[in-house]
Amino acid sequence: MSIVRQESLFSIEVLYELEPTQRYDEVFSSINIAPMVNVVAKKSRFGRPVSLNYPAMIQALVIRIVERISEIKLLVKRLKWDLQFKWDCGFLISDSVPSESAFSRMISKIKESNVLQSINTQILTDAIDEGCISDTNIAIDAGHFEARDQASSNKEEREQKSVPKKRGRKPKIEQEQWLKEQQELQDSLPIFEKKIEDQLEVPYNELRDQMPIAPKWGVKKNSEGKNAYWFGYKGHFAVDTKNQFILHSMMSSGNLHDGKAITPLLKGIEETLPKLDWTYAIMDAGYDYKPIYEQINNMNDYSIIAYNKKNESEPIGFDSHFAPTCVREHSYRYDSFDKKYKTLKFTRPKECADCPLAHDTLCQKVYKIKVETDLRRYSAPARGSLAWKERYKERSSVERVIGYLKEFFQLNNVRYRTGERAKVQFDLTTMVYNGMKLASARLNHNAVNSQTVA
C-alpha cells in the first residue's frame, strides 16, 4: 500500500535550516520590536537608573517561542550557561542575566497596552505590500487552550437560587411591568452576553475592549460525541487560506460562544487591514447564524458556511441544498452568479431532456434567485455546487494553523495566571508566527529569484 504524503502548509522549515544567528536576524528583520521597547522603557530621567537591557529581554521572549522553550525559568537558565545564545538574544557578555521576576514585571507593562497587536498589524501590512498575502478566501475557526489559573468550583453560582416563578397567567398590569423589567435587564447586559445581532452596530474598538478574557469553564463535543470540558480560554482566528497568515485573532473566555466572536474578527480585519481585498469567509456549521451572514453581506463579501438544519423541515419545491426542483423532483443545476444583481442562475436538469413535461408550463427552463432572498440558504456560488465544495475544503487551513500554534508555538502551554497576562502570550504567539511566515516568504522569494538569474 502506497503512502501519500500531504504537502505541508507550514512553510517555515527554511528558517530552521539556517544557523541560529542567521535565523534570528531573519525573524527580527520582519518583527519591529521598537514599539515594545518604548512601552517598557523608563519614561522619566528621575528615579533609579535602569540596569536591564530591555531590547535584549524582548528579543529573548520572541526567541523563546522560536526555539520552543517552554518556561521563562528554562530561558533564564539557558541565558546563564549558553554565552552564544545570550549574545544572539542581544545581551552583552557583561550584562547580567535578568531574573524571572524581571521578565514578569516587563510582561506586566506590556499587558497594559495594545503594542503587540500594532506590531502584528504592521507585519501583515508589509506582507500585503510585498505580495505575500494575495488570496481572496478567509477561513475562520476557534481553538481552546487551558489556563494556568486554578479552576473555580462555581460554588457561589450554584448557591444562587433562581427566582421562583408564579404559577398561572400574570395580570395585565404585572405583565407590562414584568416585560419592562426584562427589557431593562437585557439592555444592561454586556455586549457579549446579548444576542449576536446586537453586535452589528457596535464599533470594533468597543467590541475589542469588552471582550471577556477571564478563564472560564468551556465545553464542546469530542469525536465520540461526548462532552469534553476545559478551564481556560478560546482563541478565535481568521486565516488566509493560501499562505496561512493569521489576519486577525482574538482571545476570549472559554465559555464564549464561537459565533459571538465573528463580528469582532471581521470588523477587526476591516479596521486594521484596509488594503486587504478579500471575498469569501469560510466557516463550519457552528457559525450558521443569520447575523453573521448579514455582517458579511454588509461588507460586500460572500459567505461559505455549512448549513445547520436546526430542526427545520425541507422546503417544498427545493432540494436539500435549496436549489429549485422540477415537477418530478429533479434538482435544477447551478449555472452562474450575476454580481451586479446578486442573482443565482439555475438551469433545467439533464433528466428533463427526455421528460414529456419538458414543454409544459409547469416546468421552466431557468430559475433566478436573489441571494438576499435568504442569506442563510443562498450564497455565491450556490450550495451543493462543485465550486462551493472546493472553496469549503480550504477551511481546513485554519484548523492546521491552530494545531501548529499549539504544537510548535507554545499556545497550549500558558505559563501566566489571569486573563490579561495570558493574552500577552496569546498575542505574542500570533505575532511571532506571522513574523516567521513573512521571514520565510522573503527567503523563498529570494531563493526563487536567485535561481531565475542563474
Whether the CB-CB separation of 324 and 332 falls below 8 Å is answered with: yes
Residues in the chain, total = 454
- Asked if residue 290 is part of any domain, the answer here is yes
Q: How many domains does the chain have?
A: 2
- Asked if residue 448 is part of any domain, the answer here is no
Whether residues 230 and 353 share a domain: the answer is no
- Asked if residue 264 is part of any domain, the answer here is yes
Whether the CB-CB separation of 136 and 304 falls below 8 Å is answered with: no
- Asked if residue 380 is part of any domain, the answer here is yes
Alpha-carbon span 332 to 352, nearest angstrom: 10
Q: What is the CATH number of the domain that holds 281?
A: 3.30.420
Question: Could you say which residues of the chain have pLDDT below 50?
Answer: 1-7, 9, 161
| Residues near 73 by beta carbon (within 8 Å), at least 6 away in sequence | 100
User: Which of these, 106, 127, 95, lies nearest to 29 by C-alpha position?
Assistant: 127
Per-residue pLDDT tens digits for 137-164: 999 999 999 988 777 665 555 555 455 5
Q: What is the pLDDT of residue 163?
A: 57
For the record, the C-alpha cell of 50 comes out as 535602569
Whether the CB-CB separation of 23 and 16 falls below 8 Å is answered with: yes
User: Which of these, 325, 306, 322, lies nearest to 389 by C-alpha position?
Assistant: 306
Whether residues 237 and 286 share a domain: the answer is yes
User: Which of these, 7, 402, 27, 435, lies nearest to 238 by C-alpha position?
Assistant: 402
Whether the CB-CB separation of 253 and 260 falls below 8 Å is answered with: no
pTM of the shown model:
0.90
**Pairing, β 280-283 against β 227-240:** unpaired
Q: What is the pLDDT of residue 185?
A: 84
- Asked if residue 303 is part of any domain, the answer here is yes
Whether residues 285 and 359 share a domain: the answer is no
Whether residues 366 and 401 share a domain: the answer is no
Alpha-carbon span 118 to 124, nearest angstrom: 10
The answer to whether the Cα torsion of 443, 447, 448, 452 is positive or negative is positive
b/e map of 292-319 (b: 16 or more CB within 10 Å)? Answer: bbbbbbeeebbbbbebeeeeeeeeeebb
Per the structure, the complete domain to which residue 218 belongs is given by 136-152+171-307+393-406
Q: What is the pLDDT of residue 169?
A: 75
Whether the CB-CB separation of 170 and 178 falls below 8 Å is answered with: yes
Whether residues 241 and 210 share a domain: the answer is yes
Per-residue pLDDT tens digits for 75-104: 999 999 999 999 999 999 888 999 999 999
Whether residues 227 and 266 share a domain: the answer is yes
Whether residues 349 and 256 share a domain: the answer is no
The answer to whether the Cα torsion of 251, 252, 258, 264 is positive or negative is negative
- Asked if residue 259 is part of any domain, the answer here is yes
- Asked if residue 228 is part of any domain, the answer here is yes
Q: What is the pLDDT of residue 158?
A: 52
Whether residues 265 and 342 share a domain: the answer is no
Whether residues 142 and 259 share a domain: the answer is yes
Label residue 232 left, alpha or beta by phi (over 0 means left) and psi (-120 to 50 means alpha). Answer: left
Q: What is the pLDDT of residue 48?
A: 65
Q: What is the pLDDT of residue 4?
A: 39
Q: How far does the chain reach from its first CA to its final CA, in angstroms? A: 40
Whether residues 183 and 232 share a domain: the answer is yes
Q: What is the pLDDT of residue 7?
A: 46
Alpha-carbon span 283 to 139, nearest angstrom: 6
- Asked if residue 105 is part of any domain, the answer here is no
> Dihedrals φ, ψ of 149, to 5°?
-65, 160
Whether residues 226 and 367 share a domain: the answer is no
Whether residues 302 and 346 share a domain: the answer is no
| Residues near 91 by beta carbon (within 8 Å), at least 6 away in sequence | 53, 56, 60, 79, 97
Alpha-carbon span 281 to 298, nearest angstrom: 13
